[in-house]
Structure 1
Amino acid sequence: MISDSFLFRSDGGFIRLPIWGHIPLNTPLKKILSHPTFLRLKGIRQLSFSQQVYPGATHTRFEHSIGVYHLMKLILQRIHTNPLAESLQNDRFFFDDHSCRLLLSAALLHDIGHYPHAHVLEEQAPVFRGKPVFTRHESLVDRFLFETSDHFPSIADTLHDEWKVDPHEVAALIRGESGNTYKKLISGTLDPDKMDYLMRDAHHCNIPYGNIDIERLIESFVPDPERCRFAITEKGIAPLESLLFAKYMMMRNVYWHHTSRTFSVMLRRFLQDNIDTCMITPHTLTELFYSNSDDRVLYDLEHLLPSEKNPAGSLLERIQQRKIYKRAIIRTPYLNGAKKPIDWMMAYATDHERRKEQEIALCTMIAKRHNIDLCGHEILIDPPSLKDIFDYDDLRELCVFPTKQEHLQSPGNHQKNYISFDEFGESVFRSDFILAFERYTKKFRIVCREDLTPLVRQHEEEIIGMLEAKGPT
C-alpha cells in the first residue's frame, strides 16, 4: 500500500516555485531542504554560462530538484489513483510504500552531486596524465549524501531515519546502476527531470519553446513491467511530441548556443593550461570546484593562481569581463544529412592533447603570416559534442498501451498490449526523426580573439586542411 503521508498529505506549509506554484511540504522533505549540503545547490546555476546570453537564466539546481520531486509525486499519485495503472503492475514492477519513498528521495536528490559548470567540465574534461580531472556528478552522490556538517546529521541519516529508505539504494538509483528496477524512471525519455528543466529553463530564459502539457502527459502514464519503465496511452502522444520538440528547440537555442559553448571552450583551455604548467594540482582544482558556487569559483581560482606567471590568465579575465572569443570558422560534421559524421571533427572532442597542439599550431601559423605575437591560446577549437541530448535507445524502447477502440481493433495491433512508439504510427516524431534533428544542430567551430577573426577566415581552407591532415587518431 502506498503511504498517504508521502503522496497526499502535508504537515503544513508550502514552498512556492515558478512553473509549479505551491508545493506542499512534509517533515522528511523539510529536513532535507534545510540541510546545508542540499542548500549548497542554491549556489549552482542550472545553465552555467547561459546567463551570459539570457540574463534571467540564474535559476539553480535547488529549485530544479524540488520541481523534479514535485513531478515525481504527481506521477506516483496518478499511478496510485488510476485503475488501469494499478492493474498493469506485477510482482516485478510495482509501486508500494517502499518504492514510492525510494523514487521520491532519488528525484529530490538526483542532482546532489552537481558542482559549478559540471556539464561543461564533464563534456570535455581537462586531463592530467591521460585521465579526466573532473568526475561525472553522478559519481559524487556518496560524497554529498554521507558528509556531515556542524549540528547536522548527514543526508544519509535523514533518509534512513525520516524517509525510511536505505541511502545506499537511493545513491545506486541516482547513479543508474544496472539491475535497478526503477532506474529508467529517474533517467529516461519520460523522467520528471526532463519535464522540469525544459519548462523551467524556457521560463527563465523567457523563450517560448518549453511549453509542454505536463498534466496530460502524466495522465497518460501506465506501468510497462516488461521493460521496467512507463508507457503511455494514446492521450500522451501529443504532449510527448511537445516534449521532444521543446528539447530540440532548447538544445538549438539555449543548451548549445554558440556563446555558451565559447565560454566553455575558453574555461576548459584555461584550466588545461594551468594543469599542464603545474600552476595548480588536479586535487586542488577539483576541491575548489566541488565545494564552491558558480559566482565564486572563478574569482577564487583567480586569487589562487599567480597572475604574473600565467600566460593563459587572459582567458579567465575575458570570461569574467565577458570579452568572448568570436566565431571565425563553422563547419557541419553531418554533411548533407549524412548518417555518419566527419570523423576528424568529432575526434577532437576526445583527443585533448592533440586539440591543444593544433590550437598552438594555428596560433603559430597566424602569428608568422601576419607578424604578430600570440601565446597559443588565442585561437581555440570547439568540436561538436559527443553527448547526445536525446536518448535514442530509450526512445526506441518506449511503448504505447492502446486503450481506444480503433487501435484495439486494428489488425496490426491485435492482441498486443504494448506497441513500440516508433511502430504505433500516430506520430512523425520517431527516434530516427529525432536523430536527424540533433545531427543538423551539431557544429564544428574555430573561435578566436575578435581582432584575429578576419585573419583566421583569410586562411580558412588552409586551417581546415591542417586540422584534417593532423586530426586525432
Structure 2
Amino acid sequence: MLPELNSLYQTGSLIRIPPAQDVPISPRIRRLIDTAPMRRLASISQLGMVSLVYPGATHSRLEHSLGVYDNAIRVLGRFAHDDAFTSIVDPKMAEAFVLSALLHDVGHWPFCHPIEDMRIQGLAEHEQRIGDWIRQSELAECIDQDWSCDTDDLIGLLCPPKPSSDQATSAGQHFLATCLSGPIDVDKLDYLQRDSLHAGVPYGRNFDAGRLISSLCVHPETGSLAIGDKGRTAAEMMVFSRYIMFSEVYWHHSVRAATAMLQRCVFLLQHRLDLESTLRMTDDDWIANLRRAAEGSVAEPLAQGLFGPRRLLYKRAAEFNAIDGDQVHDRLARKPYWWLVALAERLAEQLSRRTGLVIHPVDVLIDAPPAKLEVDINIDVVGRDAVVRTLGDVSPVTSALAQRQFDNHVKRVRVFLRNDLRDRTCEKLSVGDLTYVMMETIQNLESELI
C-alpha cells in the first residue's frame, strides 16, 4: 500500500482546504508541496477573469491541485482490492498517478487558458511544459529521491501518446490516463465543486462525488474508466452540473467580455510582452507587466478596464447560439483568433458608417468557441447484467447533451462593444440589423481571404 493510502485510512498529517476537506499528506508529498514550483501555484488564480463577476472566485491552483490529489488517492483506495485493476496497475504506475494528480497544473501560468485559445505561434500549451517545469526544478530531485517512478512516467499519463503513435501504452497506463482526463476524472470531480463553492453558486455541487468514486470500474472491453450502474444517477447529475457551470459561470456573458478584452489586449501587445518570459510569473507580476506594456498604446483602455482602479467591461451587443443564431454561430465557432480580430475590425468600420458614431477597431470584440473542444461527456455504464451502454443511451437527462457537441450549447458567439458605445449603437441598430451587418461582414471577409 502506498504511504498516501496509509495516510487516507490512518490519523496523520493533514492539510485542510475548503469546504472543510482534510487532505492526507505523507512526508514525501509535503516535500513536493513545499517546492518553489508548487508554491507558485498558490499565487495563480484557478479561474482568472471569473472573479470580476463572482468576487469570491479567487481560489488558487494550489488549492485545486490538492483537491485533485485527494481524489486520486481516493480512487486508488476504491481499486485497492479490485482484481481487474491490480492485474494491470503496479505500484510504480500508482505512484505516477498520485504524482500526476498533484503536479498536473505545475506548467500553468497566469490566464493561460484564454491565451492558449488564441493559438499564438510558438507558444506551447501548458501541458507540454510540465516536463520542463519538473526536470528543471527541485521537483526532479524530490521525485528521484522519494518515488520509484520518474518524470517520463508522469508525462505518459498527463500527455498520453495518440492512438496513431508508434509509442506503446500499457493497459495500466491507459486506464490511469482516463482517470486523469476523461468524461469523469479526478480533475473534474474537484474543479466543478470547488469552483461552484467559491463562485457562490450551487450548480457544480449538485452531484454525489463519493458515490461516483465508489462506482468506478475498469471497462471490460476498452480498459478505460467506466462506472457501474449504481453510479448512473450521480453521473447524470455531474454531466448536468458541468453543463450549467459552463453556461452560468465559465461562459457567463460578463466573464466572456473580460476574457475577450484580455485576449485582444494580449494580441495587440504580444510583441511588446515577450510572452515566453512571463510564463513563470505569478498573477500579480504578470498583470503589472501587462499594464506596463499597455501604457501609451491602443490596448491601454483594455488593460485599465480589467486591472485598473475601476472595472470597465465591454457590454454585450449581440449573441448567437447554435439553435437560434446558428447561421452566425456555425460561421464563427472555432475560427482562428486572428480571423476574429480581422472580422471585429471590419465590423467596427461598418458599424461606424451605418450609425454615424466614431467606432474604432479596438472598440469591437468578437468572442467565439475556440478550436479546442471540451472532452466528451458520454461515459460508459456497466450494467448489472454486464452489458455496456453509454450514459446517453441509458439516461434521458443526458442523451441530448451526450449526442450533440457540448461546446455548441454552452459556448456562444458574442459581439461586445466598448461600454459607453453599446447603448448608443443599439439605439440606432436593432438586433436584426446588427445580425445582417454581421453576416454581410463575414461574407466580405471570407471573399477577401479566398
Name the TM tier (shorter chain): 0.7 to 0.9
Residue in structure 2 matched with residue 116 of structure 1 by the alignment:
110
Partner of residue 157, structure 2: 173
How far apart in 1 are the matches of 2:352 and 2:285? 35
Q: Secondary structure at the match of 2:107?
A: coil
Q: By how many angstroms is 1:286 displaced?
A: 2.4
SS of equivalent to 1:446: strand
Aligned mates of 2:39, 2:210 — CA distance in 1: 29
Equivalent residue number for residue 382 of structure 1? 367
Correspondences of 1:53-452 after superposition (within 5 Å): 53-81=53-81, 86-89=82-85, 91=87, 94-125=88-119, 127=120, 131=121, 133-148=122-137, 154-178=138-162, 179=169, 180-181=173-174, 182-211=176-205, 212-224=207-219, 226-275=221-270, 278=271, 280=272, 284-288=274-278, 290-305=279-294, 307-308=295-296, 310-320=297-307, 321-335=310-324, 342-346=329-333, 349-350=335-336, 352-369=337-354, 372-392=357-377, 395=378, 398-403=379-384, 408=385, 417-422=386-391, 425=394, 428-430=397-399, 433=402, 435=404, 438-452=407-421
Identity level (%): 26
Aligned-residue offset at 1:294: 2.0
Which amino acid in the other structure matches residue 33 of structure 2? L
Distance 1:341 1:373, change over 3 A: closer
Separation in 2, partners of 1:224, 1:432: 22
Instruction: State the aligned residue count.
Output: 427
Amino acid at match of 1:357: A
Compute the displacement of 1:423 (Å).
7.4
What is the TM-score with the length of structure 1 in the denominator? 0.83
Secondary structure of 2:217's partner? strand
Cα deviation per residue 1:429-459 (whole Å; 9 max; x = unaligned)? 2375463665333321110112221344315
SS at match of 1:43: coil
Distance apart, 1:232 and its partner CA: 1.6
- Is this contact kept in 2: 1:68–1:192, CA < 8 A? yes
Counterpart CA distance in 1 for 2:39 and 2:128 is 19
- What's the TM-score once normalised by structure 2's chain length? 0.87
Q: Which amino acid aligns with 2:149?
A: V
**8 Å contact from structure 1 (residues 72, 104) kept in 2:** yes
Does 1:6 pair with 2:26? no
Aligned to 1:413: none
Assess, with a 3 A threshold, how the Cα gap between structure 1 residues 384 and 425 changes in structure 2: closer, same or farther. closer
> Match for residue 38 of structure 2?
38
The amino acid that maps onto 1:223 is V
Contact 2:343-2:442 at 8 Å conserved across structures: no
Q: Partners in 1 of 2:412 and 2:441 — Cα distance?
A: 15
Amino acid at match of 1:313: E
User: Where does structure 1 lack aligned partners over 5 or more consecutive residues?
Assistant: 149-153, 409-416
Aligned-residue offset at 1:388: 3.3
The structure-2 alpha-carbon separation of the partners of 1:341 and 1:453, relative to structure 1 and needing over 3 Å to count, comes to closer
The 3 A distance-change label for structure 1 pair 434 and 55 is farther
* Alpha-carbon separation, structure 2, partners of 1:465 and 1:222: 49
Q: Where in structure 2 are there 5+ consecutive unaligned residues?
A: 163-168
Give the Cα separation in 1 of the matches to 2:300 and 2:393: 56
CA distance in 1, matches of 2:357, 2:394: 61
> SS where residue 134 of structure 1 aligns?
coil
Give yes or no for the alignment of 1:460 onto 2:447. Answer: no
Task: State the distance in 2 between where 1:55 and 1:234 align.
Answer: 39
What do you get for the CA RMSD once the two structures are aligned?
Answer: 2.5
Residue 104 of structure 1 deviates from its aligned partner by 0.6
Asked if the contact 2:80/2:86 (under 8 Å) is kept, the reply is: no
Distance apart, 1:74 and its partner CA:
0.6
What's the CA shift string for 1:158-191, capped at 9, x where partnerless? 1121122111111231123333423111101121
Amino acid at match of 1:376: P
Supply the AA of the counterpart residue of 1:301.
Answer: L
Q: Letter of the aligned partner of 1:116 in structure 2?
A: P
* Contact residue 237 and residue 427 of structure 1 kept, 8 A: no
Contact 2:346 2:441 survives alignment (8 Å): no
